[in-house]
Amino acid sequence: MILFLLWNSSLLAKDLGTYGQAFEIKEDHLLRYMQDRSKNMTEDQLKRIGKTAQPNFKPVKGVAKARTYRRFHFDPTVCSHEDILDHAQAIVIHKGTCVNPLEHVSLPAELLFIDGNDKGHLDWARSQKENAKWILVNGNPFELEYEEQRKIYFDQQGILSRKLAIENIPARVSQKGKLLQIEEIPIESNK
């Protein structure tokens, strides 16, 4: 049926012509423009630009190397401390309403918090579930992403580590019912 509709609708197509004035695009292609500009720069200018363009991944403060195994749970439930109103001032969420996101969605994969400069942490992460998400607290995620051929994330300013109360790495976060289970796992580590 769908093929018939697609085939039949092409029979009804018409060229309605061009209405109004059309103009040629005269803007340079961005990549070509950058290449042309870089040809006229000195080596010092290129190095300076390269340094300022480099992202600065500062190690997360307050996270140490795991010395003992620790397991605890995090409850992601969020409670409203005031009435939430919509554009018409009708109450959408009443004060005191609590919602646990894990009642509606599941954590799609385990989260592994590691030091991207620590060979032991990398070896440990490679030995975990293949679909686990790697989250660095130190190291360069772009370089590691290229080496590992997988998506790598960075815990910017330690927001996730603090929220989940992760104090030691490597750490694994997994879902256990309506809670997140967090394990800080000591391993042999070689920097």
- pLDDT tens digit sequence for 101-160: 999 999 999 999 999 999 999 999 999 999 999 999 999 998 899 899 999 999 999 999
Q: Supply the range of the domain harboring residue 167.
A: 64-76+105-184
Q: Please state the domain count of the chain.
A: 1
Residue 51 phi, psi dihedral angles, 5° rounding: -70, -40
Please say whether the beta carbons of 112 and 171 come within 8 A. yes
Q: Answer yes or no: is 6 within a domain.
A: no
Residue 188: pLDDT band (50, 70, 90) is confident
pLDDT 10s digits, 49-100: 766 666 778 899 999 999 999 999 999 999 999 999 899 999 999 999 999 9
Residue written as token pair 């750490």: 171
Residue 39: pLDDT band (50, 70, 90) is confident
State the pLDDT at residue 23.
Answer: 78
pTM of the model: 0.69
Q: If you compute the radius of gyration of the chain from its CA atoms, what whole number of angstroms results?
A: 26
For residue 90, the SS3 value is coil
State the pLDDT at residue 185.
Answer: 95
Q: Answer yes or no: is 141 within a domain.
A: yes
Q: Answer yes or no: is 19 within a domain.
A: no
* Amino acid at position 18, single letter: T
Q: Answer yes or no: is 50 within a domain.
A: no
Please tell me the number of Cα atoms within 13 Å of 147 on its side-chain side.
11
Q: Answer yes or no: is 128 within a domain.
A: yes
Q: Answer yes or no: is 68 within a domain.
A: yes
